[in-house]
Amino acid sequence: MFQQAQQHVRPIRGAVATAGVSERVTFIRKTYAHLVGAILAFVALEYALLDTTGPLFETVTIPFVNAVTANWWMMLVMFMGAGWIANKWAHSNTSRGIQYLGLALYIVAEAFVMLPLLAMASLYHEGVIADAGILTLFLFTGLTVTVFMTKKDFSFMRGMLVTAAFGAMGVIAASMLFGFTLGTLFTGFMIMLASGYVLYYTSAVLHHYRPTQYVAASLALFSAIALMFYYILMFVMRLTSD
């Protein structure tokens, strides 16, 4: 769920911030159009996997959730590997097709890493998925508007985000190794971390990506939204369980 923040100190030659107004607007439109497409593809895939009357629920979802329950370490490693490959492909300078393949790979990887939590939510916490989706949309929109209105460059957050992300992964690994439960405080921290990534990547869209990198930019934003949604969903599920 973590995409390593790329270092952006100042607008580089060829970055979108140095392009003309028309080119910047086109880049932003393409980036967010691809982001919407990625979200819709993710929703469609999860719907197919969670439809208890569909062909995938018995043949894919239940076996996968059972396997992940017993081998979460393997799933985490596979997801991190898939995320690294997807990000590398999405930044390809040689092939637009490889860029789209990277985005598609990341969407599928996110769909499966979220599947156990979404399956639990859909079966035992009616309505929480929609509630979490709405909360995620409001928070993401508010953060995006903040960046667009202020035009502030949040590249200075890179070091903090990377440090916090590695720290969070260490805590997650320790919880799996020693069997303790991650509480509400950790969930809140992860929502804040995801919010930081939204600010960072949105400012990168305005200042640092090249005009041809709208697929990579949409993947970065999607990764931040997915992280935010995951932990907001976890937070809402805990509230409904109390």
Tens of pLDDT, residues 54-73:
889 889 988 888 887 767 77
Condensed to tens digits (0 to 9), the pLDDT of residues 154-209 reads 989 999 999 998 898 888 888 877 777 788 899 999 999 999 999 999 999 998 89
Backbone φ, ψ for residue 181 (5° rounding) = -95, 135
What's the pLDDT tens digit per position in 87-101? 899 988 878 999 999
For the chain, the 3-state helix, strand and coil shares in percent, each to the nearest 5, are 80, 0, 20
**pLDDT on residue 208:** 87
Question: What are 101-126's pLDDT values in tens digits?
Answer: 999 999 999 999 999 999 999 988 88
* pLDDT value at 7 more than 70: no
Tell me how far apart the alpha carbons of residues 194 and 223 are, in angstroms, rounded to a whole number.
9
Amino acid (one-letter) located at 22: S
Nearest in space to 108 (alpha carbons), one of 38, 198, 35:
38
- pLDDT greater than 80 at residue 9: no
Count other Cβ atoms within 10 Å, centred on residue 230: 22
Specify whether the CB–CB gap between 221 and 198 falls below 8 A.
yes
Residue 5 has pLDDT above 60, yes or no: no
How far apart are alpha carbons 147 and 30 in whole angstroms? 18
The whole-model pTM stands at 0.89
Contact 141, 195 (CB under 8 A): no
Please count the other Cβ atoms lying within 10 Å of the Cβ belonging to residue 124. 11
Kindly provide the residue ranges of all beta strands, DSSP E only, lying in 126-172, ordered along the sequence: none
Radius of gyration of the CA atoms of the chain, in A: 18
183-190: Cβ within 8 A, 24+ apart: 184/235, 184/238, 187/231, 187/234, 187/235, 187/238, 188/235, 189/164, 190/227, 190/230, 190/231
